[in-house]
Structure 1
Amino acid sequence: MKKIFAANWKLFKSPKETREFFTQFKELSSKATGEVVFFPSAISLEATSTSLQGTNIKWGVQNAYFQAQGAFTGENSAQVVKELGGTYVLIGHSERRKIFGESDALIADKVAFTQSLGLIPMLCIGETLEEREAKHTFRVCETQLLQGLSKADKSKPVVIAYEPVWAIGTGKVATPEQVAETHTDVFSILQKLGFEQSPILYGGSVKPDNAAGLIKQPHVNGFLVGGASLEAKSFIDIATV
């Protein structure tokens, strides 16, 4: 299975900064050992699209509604992402779930709509620190996968990103043993649901100095990277493991 190295820029980088980043990154991108995907902020989507034309670097949007257009103030259209040349839609990130109150039902609609357009949903799952300490990691991941994929088409691609909430932006990272255990569990759940061909990415304070060890763990097919993806060299160091 191919490796995927995805960059979630969250609310960072203006269009100008985006263009400057890709001018530098494109010189390094040939070193990547798998598919590279960027999720810029919505206001920098067009800058990303134009910067990456003619390359094999993929990109997508961090959030999109489950309808192409309408009276949905503040939302993004996956149809427009497709027209601009995007490939992916990031769905169900813990910040969308916690800060913006996205439910599993809404996430399921987004996954299904994204697939219907021929785009690839990257579905994020993961437990909080309290849930891990209570030994509920498996149950949380199972519930989020069962509900998030409840309307998904098994014949179309979907990517899963396991991100322990307690290791996002905290500087903490799951140990290789914890990652191996959880990714094996996630794979077993996907097998039961008929999505065993879906890549499983790890996200949670991935950096150049821990990426090589994490990528060796079973069922780790790449990474979803936050802060370490904001610098071209840092991200390419991760994408070359």
Structure 2
Amino acid sequence: MKYIIANFKMNATEELINHFLNNLISFDEQKLTIGLAPGDLYLKTFVDLSQTKKVKLYAQNPSAYSKGPYTGQISCLQLLDSNIKNTLVGHSEIRIDCSQSIIDQKTKICMDLLDQVIICIGEPLDVYEQKKSLSFVLSQLANVINYKGLKKIIIAYEPIWAIGTNLTLDLKHINHMIEGIKTYLYNCTGLNIPILYGGSVNANNIKELCTQKLIDGFLIGNASLDVNNFNQIINACK
């Protein structure tokens, strides 16, 4: 199974989401899971259409709390009330304003209550340049391995320095990181947890990335906003 997840971040409109879902090419559900994180405002609106199109909907940033006086936040219980059962957690753009402790709280409650949790990890440029990338991202998973619901998780490795850039892919580094993450998780949990890659994945580099057997799928940002580009990515992964 390969996973191809579109993260619209804060770029969505109803028109864009409708166009995206209605123009996706067909795919084999037994081989591909296609997901969309459209922005939490639009999740309930597109539950029915996404199910018709066989696309999983994902929240982008659930609260670390199940309920209470947390103005502007959305809890996992509220997501479930809207029939949303999957989420991203810990994206680097969220981590700017959240401590690792809060990310861990979010992750734990999501793993307790939801069906699938994509945990985003990644290192900044200075850590990469110091060749400390693997130890850095494993520290982001140090508490996760002790939580219940480990079969629900997918890891998305996104080097922060590669997100939203046109930097040349370092396939050797990507493979080193994904192999290290897989080995760590297997040694700690006994599970083969899927690892996605994110970081300027697009229609131009997807074929090269698909040759890397350790990668279980992709978390795609800007390139997912154009459904034609996204369809090219799906085709490359078939």
CA distance in 2, matches of 1:81, 1:233: 29
CA distance in 1, matches of 2:50, 2:5: 15
Aligned-residue offset at 1:154: 5.0
Q: Structure 2: state its 5+ residue gaps.
A: none
**Cross-structure match for 1:106:** 102
Distance change in 2, residues 1:207/1:158 (3 Å) = same
Distance change in 2, residues 1:184/1:155 (3 Å) = closer
One-letter code aligned to 1:228: A
**Cross-structure match for 1:71:** 69
Identity value in percent: 29
Count of residue correspondences: 235
Answer with 124-133 or 9-18: which moved more: 9-18
Distance change in 2, residues 1:10/1:19 (3 Å) = same
TM-score normalised over the length of structure 2:
0.91
Answer with 115-124 or 223-232: which moved more: 115-124
Q: How do residues 225-240 of structure 1 correspond to structure 2 at under 5 angstroms? A: 225-240=220-235
CA distance in 2, matches of 1:155, 1:97: 21
**Cross-structure match for 2:41:** 43
Q: Structure 1: state its 5+ residue gaps.
A: none
Distance change in 2, residues 1:7/1:195 (3 Å) = farther
Following superposition, which runs of at least 4 residues in structure 1 exceed 4 angstroms of deviation? none
Contact 1:37 1:57 in 2 (8 A): yes
Q: Which of the numbers 166, 170, 187 marks the counterpart of 2:161? A: 166
Q: How do residues 185-200 of structure 1 correspond to structure 2 at under 5 angstroms? A: 185-194=180-189, 196-200=191-195
Secondary structure, counterpart of 1:37 in structure 2: strand
**Cross-structure match for 1:18:** 17
Q: How do residues 182-221 of structure 1 correspond to structure 2 at under 5 angstroms? A: 182-194=177-189, 196-221=191-216
TM-score normalised over the length of structure 1:
0.90
CA distance in 2, matches of 1:15, 1:197: 37
RMSD, aligned CA: 1.8
